[in-house]
């Protein structure tokens, strides 16, 4: 520790001069900074740090690059890994725009008159999410898809004033765990139902479905809406925004609250985060929606202006009335998604979705002809499919890596000898055929 005098290293991050430190110590009636910590036993005050000597920026960058090179990444390997995080194309315009100083450094736009650019970006994001999901209102983003779905389940309980959440077994296991984690402290009960026979009991708050589901297949949301409506429950859906480029949006199929993981639109995989959760609902439930909602209005001169319309988190209103503690930092990632959607446009997003669909089905057609492999689930799938293997998927994936291929997600704990294989627009025909060729070698 530094004391009040002598020649000591001057920290770049604590700019007090020795004279200033001595002056502050004098006011406190202390002789040295060490006197501030006399309550801590001496043997614990300055423990030795077993770290190597400092490196220059050049040396540090070289070491980090060498460490990063030991990873298997989608840029160097053909990746068929999905399960909730996806390798999609990100237009080159996204990064330079979202990292402009006006966006990168901004926090909550408390002063609307000085934050029109930030607020307009948020409003455009909300509008595009509504259009994408077929809903009437959307917020400025959540943490990610899992907690967004959990917040939707809690919102359904507030709207219906009920305490039983019903969730289909085709929803991501990780998402189900997050819903249970959010629900348990509030005394809410979570029930898991078979997707083929979703029978809700009296007093159900909501039925939760995923679209496409965890296994990549399209759920019959219209039938789920009927099952929920019979019990006076809401239909809550977690939807893949890319799939909305070619499939009917949940709002048109009766969903009351729609969430989603926005990572697939403009946000890199980044080792698992940070991501952006999508959240939209019907207008009648607007005041129970978590997060922030930006609105558009006109000022005294009749010019268009933007403002924070609803702020239902505890930082803005009384804690007991808050619906969420969602953080404002997600706005930057929401901006990335908004720029991506604007750059792609309706036709571009549809093209991406169609590429995913057709490439995934091409891969399925090749794999289905390989001895020992099969697609055990029947139905319409989007970009992911379940493949049953002749051996353990973990063994097959290790051998695939030797061929420069990142294989599918091992879901043997759910379905024996099965992997969840994902194909996106980023996978070329050559990569798909190389995958099928490698799999056929392993079947012998």
Asked if residue 315 has a cis previous peptide bond (ω within 30° of 0), the answer is no
Q: What are the residues whose beta carbons fall under 8 Å from the beta carbon of 141, sequence distance 6 or more?
A: 125, 262, 276, 277, 278, 279, 291, 326, 330, 331, 333, 334
Low-confidence ranges of the chain (pLDDT < 50): 1-6
State the Rg of the chain over Cα.
26
Residue 3, pLDDT score? 45
Distance in angstroms between the alpha carbons of the first and the last residue of the chain: 66
Residue 318, pLDDT score? 64
Domains of the chain: 78-90+346-442 (3.90.1150.10), 94-341 (3.40.640.10)
CA gap 340, 92 in Å, rounded? 9
Query: Closest by alpha carbon to 362, among 286, 421, 438, 282?
Result: 421
Residue 2, pLDDT score? 44
Helical H runs in 276-390? 330-367
Residue 17, pLDDT score? 84
The pairing of strands 189-193 and 164-168 is parallel
Residue 9, pLDDT score? 58
CA gap 18, 216 in Å, rounded? 63
Residue 316, pLDDT score? 60
CA gap 137, 145 in Å, rounded? 17
Backbone dihedral region of 284: left (phi > 0), alpha (psi from -120 to 50 degrees) or beta? Answer: alpha
Residue 313, pLDDT score? 60
The pairing of strands 384-388 and 418-422 is antiparallel
Query: Closest by alpha carbon to 249, among 212, 197, 284, 293?
Result: 212
| pTM attached to this predicted model | 0.87
Q: How many helices (H) and strands (E) does the chain have?
A: 12, 14
Residue 36, pLDDT score? 87
Residue 201, pLDDT score? 93
What DSSP character marks residue 84?
S
CA gap 307, 424 in Å, rounded? 38
- Indicate if the alpha-carbon torsion angle 322, 326, 327, 329 is positive or negative: negative
Q: What are the residues whose beta carbons fall under 8 Å from the beta carbon of 395, sequence distance 6 or more?
A: none
């Amino acid at each position: 520790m530094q004391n009040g005098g002598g020649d000591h290293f001057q920290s770049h991050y604590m700019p007090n001069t020795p004279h200033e430190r001595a002056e502050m110590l004098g006011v406190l009636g202390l002789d040295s900074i060490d006197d501030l910590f006399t309550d801590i036993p001496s043997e614990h005050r300055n423990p030795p740090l077993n770290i190597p000597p400092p490196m220059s920026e050049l040396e540090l960058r070289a070491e980090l690059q060498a460490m990063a090179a030991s990873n298997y990444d989608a840029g160097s390997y053909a990746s068929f890994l999905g399960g909730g995080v996806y390798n999609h194309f990100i237009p080159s315009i996204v990064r330079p725009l979202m990292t402009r100083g006006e966006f990168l450094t901004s926090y909550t736009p408390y002063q609307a008159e000085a934050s029109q650019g930030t607020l307009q970006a948020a409003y455009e994001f909300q509008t595009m999410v509504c259009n994408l999901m077929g809903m009437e209102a959307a917020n400025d983003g959540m943490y990610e898809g899992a907690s967004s779905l959990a917040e939707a389940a809690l919102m359904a309980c507030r709207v219906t004033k009920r305490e039983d959440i019903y969730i289909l077994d085709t929803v991501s296991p990780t998402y189900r765990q997050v819903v249970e984690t959010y629900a348990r402290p509030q005394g809410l009960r979570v029930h898991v139902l078979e997707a083929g026979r979703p029978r809700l009991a009296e007093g159900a708050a909501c039925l939760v479905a995923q679209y496409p589901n965890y296994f990549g297949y399209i759920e019959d949301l219209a039938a789920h809406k009927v099952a929920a409506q019979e019990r006076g429950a809401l239909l809550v859906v977690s939807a893949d925004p890319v799939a909305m480029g070619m499939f009917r949006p949940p709002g048109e199929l009766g969903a009351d609250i729609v969430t989603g993981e926005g990572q697939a639109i403009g946000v890199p995989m980044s080792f698992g985060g940070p991501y952006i959760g999508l959240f939209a609902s019907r207008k009648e439930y607007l005041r129970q929606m978590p997060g922030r909602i930006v609105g558009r209005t006109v000022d005294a001169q009749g010019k268009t202006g933007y403002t924070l319309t609803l702020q239902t988190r505890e930082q803005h209103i009384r804690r007991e009335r808050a619906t969420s503690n969602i953080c404002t930092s997600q706005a930057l990632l929401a901006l990335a998604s908004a720029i991506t959607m604007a750059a792609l446009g309706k036709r571009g997003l549809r093209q991406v979705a169609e590429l995913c669909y057709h490439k995934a089905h091409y891969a399925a057609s090749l794999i289905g002809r390989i001895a020992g492999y099969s697609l055990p689930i029947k139905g319409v799938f989007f970009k992911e499919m379940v493949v049953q293997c002749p051996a353990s998927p973990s063994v097959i994936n290790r051998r695939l890596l030797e061929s420069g291929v990142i294989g599918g997600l091992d879901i043997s704990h759910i379905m024996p000898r099965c992997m969840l294989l994902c194909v996106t627009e980023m996978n070329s025909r050559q990569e798909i055929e190389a995958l099928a060729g490698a799999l056929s070698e392993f079947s012998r």
